[in-house]
Amino acid sequence: MKVTLDDPASVRALFERVRDVDAVVSCAGNAAFKPFAELTDADYELGLRSKLMGQVYLARTAKHHLRDGGSITLTTGVLATRPMPGSALFSLVNAGLEGFVRAAALEMPRGIRINAVSPPWVKETIVKLGMDPTPGLASADVAKAYVAAVEGSRQGEILEPSRFLG
């Protein structure tokens, strides 16, 4: 079934249909990457509603439906702590998510864990953007951090994929 992250009703519908969930992993969310001077009210509104509060709502909802000891893994991104021109909104959204994850982890019931993966630029993404993919990390390598978040015992951590290679 299709879920739209910034549509709370569709998130609720997901958990009404899918039962006995062990792990929720979110790699979704929109936000505009553009010069600070060009960011509009609508850009801020979408970034907050989608990548930021969409994932927060997913976590709030998943908490009620996960099995004991289940896990929630959200996606932030390198721009949270290492900004660049054009990242004002992304840096706000990603850093806000990291603050949320660190704090919400302190109050998760029934052994449920919550973490986030903070990916660098992904090689396949850079290729699609028509730029030099040399600085990127392959998505298969980024995925290892998600596996570590789901399978380990981490709680309230922000996982950088470079730590989980090789």
Per CB under 8 A, residues contacting a copy of itself are 35-37, 39, 44, 48, 52-53, 56, 60, 79-81, 83-100, 102-104, 106-109, 156
Which is nearer to a copy of itself, 93 or 159 (by Cβ)? 93
Least distance from a copy of itself to the Cβ atom of residue 46, Å: 13
- In angstroms, what is the minimal distance from the CB of 13 to a copy of itself? 17
What is the DSSP pairing of strand 158-159 with strand 21-25?
unpaired
Rounded to a whole number of angstroms, the minimum distance from the CB of residue 166 to a copy of itself is 29
Give the residue with the Cβ less far from a copy of itself, 67 or 144. 67
Q: How far is the CB of 86 from a copy of itself (least distance, A)?
A: 8
Q: Is 101 exposed, middle or buried (0-12, 13-18, 19+ CB in 10 A)?
A: buried
Shortest reach from residue 64's CB to a copy of itself, in Å: 10
Long-range contacts, stretch 24-28, CB < 8 angstroms, 24+ apart: 24/58, 24/59, 24/62, 24/66, 24/70, 24/71, 24/72, 24/73, 25/73, 25/146, 25/149, 25/150, 26/55, 26/58, 26/72, 26/73, 26/74, 26/75, 27/75, 27/146, 28/54, 28/55, 28/75
First to last CA, the chain: 35
C-beta closer to a copy of itself: residue 152 or 156: 156
Question: For residues 103 and 138, which CB has a smaller minimum distance to a copy of itself in the complex?
Answer: 103
